[in-house]
Structure 1
Amino acid sequence: MTKIWHPFTQHGLGQTIPKITRAQDAILYTQDGREIIDGISSWWVQTHGHCHPQIVAAIQQQSAQLDQIIFAGWTHEPAQILADGLAEFLPKSLDHIFFSDSGSTAVEVALKMALGYWHNRGEQRHHILVMDHSYHGDTIGAMSVGARGVFNQAYGPLLFDVSAVPFPKPDAVQATLDALTAACRDPDNRPAAFIVEPLVLGAGGMLTYAPTILAEMRNICSAHDVLFIADEVMTGWGRTGTIFACEQAGIEPDILCMAKGLTGGVVPLAVTAATTPIFDAHYSPDRSKMFFHSSSFTANPIACAAANANLEIWRNQPVQKRIDHIVQRHAQFAEQLQRYDSTTNVRQCGTILVFEIADSHGHYMSTLGPELLRFFAEENVLLRPLGNTVYIMPPYCITDAQLSRIYTVVEAAIDEFA
């Protein structure tokens, strides 16, 4: 029998891999009859819940009408409706939409846009600035602008060099801002762009920082003519409490990447949104200045239809009220977590609640991670710790009873492993 090679899974540990047969709202149903509460939105993608009837209906209808068409030199209605609809949710300055198929690809597109912008203007600026502990995906360019370490050490020869500014820890914010300023001012290596995860660094440990810091970093880049790329692949579509995290800082990036929740987390689709100057740098009768990027499934009509249904849900259903309720419940549970001697760095950003269980080897490769994963699975809760970092990021449809069950299981894990 052919063996499946699962992502981010060390098969040598011999862990059991449950088979999911169906899903509805915040519940996953296994082949052996269990009901699992999805506490991480199935890897941060599900927003409104599994098999949302409105999104399912849109996919069914579109798949019977137009399933796929080349997007180079051709177009279709679902893509145009989506581009127009996104204008309601994005800053007005981000008025050009480029479709792709995943978060990593959206980042690759953003980096190529930035380099193409300077190249077509006749300026050889190709250096990228990043933040320590960041993660932007698993393709080569996305890995290059992420933190170097266990995620990518085997692939080091493929990665290009970047300059990193320190993560803005509460007692060292000015050091981060000073480092960014110095890097932007470097006359010998003028940066093309600075890419950042707004407010929350996801796979880097769910590290959080304040909107005021994000605003300051944007101001520094603007003052020194460095493009500002916001990677909202994880933070977008309500995760931080607002539709996009940049809203909380009152900023408009030059380029914004989104994926995951764009279709409600149902099918793959990504967007890289850019300003007019970036588009205009590629606009020319000279074909050599076109933007050289595509994938076979760019703007797939079925995926666009799912995204359009997602936008309709945001327009017509009380999504923000659901988000606000999760935010409130998380805040109450955060107070409870603070009482444990073995929990550290309890933090919250919107619907994301995070803490560490004290561990002498506290990092992504902590041996506590697989033990916690097993414990949660046995308790019929899908939580996937980042080492000893435990986070809860549920779909917005989750019920009070389901949230309470997650909280109960988390407390049981603290008692078990502290």
Structure 2
Amino acid sequence: MSEHSRTSKGIHRYTYEEIGERTRRLADALEGLGVTKGDRVATFAWNHHRHLEAYFAIPGMGAVLHTINIRLAEEHISYIVNHAADKVILVDAELLPLLENVKETLHTVEAFIVFGDGEDVPETSLSNVYAYEKLLAKSNPKYEFVKDLDENANAGICYTSATTGNPKGVMYSHRGIILHSMALGLADSAALSEKDTILPVVPMFHVNAWGLPFAAVWFGSTQVMPGPQFTPGILAKLIEDYQVTLSAGVPTIWLGLLKELESGSYVTESLRAVLCGGSAAPAAMIKAFESKYNIPFLHAYGMTETSPLVSVSTLKSYHENIEEDKKLAIRATQGLVIPGLEVKVTGSDGELERNGEDIGELMIKGSWIASEYYKDERTKDAFRDGWLHTGDVATMDEEGYIKLVDRTKDLVKSGGEWISSVDLENAIMDHEGVFEAAVIAVPHPEW
């Protein structure tokens, strides 16, 4: 039950008991800067131990954690800081220039706290800047977290990029985070437990690192944070050195790691699985991990609006004896819905048959699914009749496996049914029919 964090000075190691004390110190420091219940406090940082402390200090004092994607365009950084009305921003020292570039447009921020190893504030053109470690050193280690919080109160907010227009804010309640964390411990999802050592490669500014930091602390899993500017070689060495059992990231991360494993010599026997989401993973890559390196590959699906876990592609008990190519085909789907959620695929006439062939829009509802965008009129397009309309086009088979086919923005409608733009092009080339088509454009909510 510990945490290992890669920093500029090497690997920082400490226990959850120490994390608890520092988390309380941070909450006390934020209160001293005027942060109160309901205020938004932003983070602008990589994956490391100080960021983890903010994950618990901010919601613990009744404020709202706002993780800002450091890769957003400057105008979008300004927009979401002002839209969320962030009162304080905690920022990595090396990322200060990105905020300095937009400082004149940040209208609600009253203070900046700089994550770093020292107690001196780095040179910056920002005003009201504090050194993180210096603040913590003089703060109360026995600060008491708020005890009368409504479980439906907001604990966090993330912004998802839109196809057009400004990013959209998605609020997460304390209740939703708890239920989502519990779901990550289910045997047929990520199966987190105290025995695990977790390496969250997915950024902590991206849908709360898929909820892994919250769940790992709750279950007592050891966490290994990769820090800034990591490489596939660094990830492979962290897996080997700290006996990582579960890691999570997007397909490009696993492609890079796969190439590193093929070119180097690393011990990865500790890995019981890698969790992959964000976009479809190539079947060949899944096969390489499972066949060549004996690392189970968990293909998952979710969105910012879904906290994000919706489904994981696991095999059922009677799949163990089927042919390997059929197993791989199952692994390459988006999988089975996690208990606690409802999903359906709908067409123009309602819910479609679960036959693995009929395609329509995937719709989701459940206890950790958002019900609106924060102060955004686009809510009415995505949230209707209690369901999240994902904009993802999918099929569902009789076993319940979801398979994404395309985005609705890449499809056309013919006779009330969805047709892939690729299939349409082929049909036109083959002179197989004439289509009266209208392109359907739906914002793409990224995971």
TM over 0.5: no
Greater helix proportion? 1
Higher strand share: 2
Larger Cα-atom Rg: 2
Task: Provide the TM-score with structure 2 as the length reference.
Answer: 0.28
Higher relative contact order (CA 8 A, sep 6+): 1
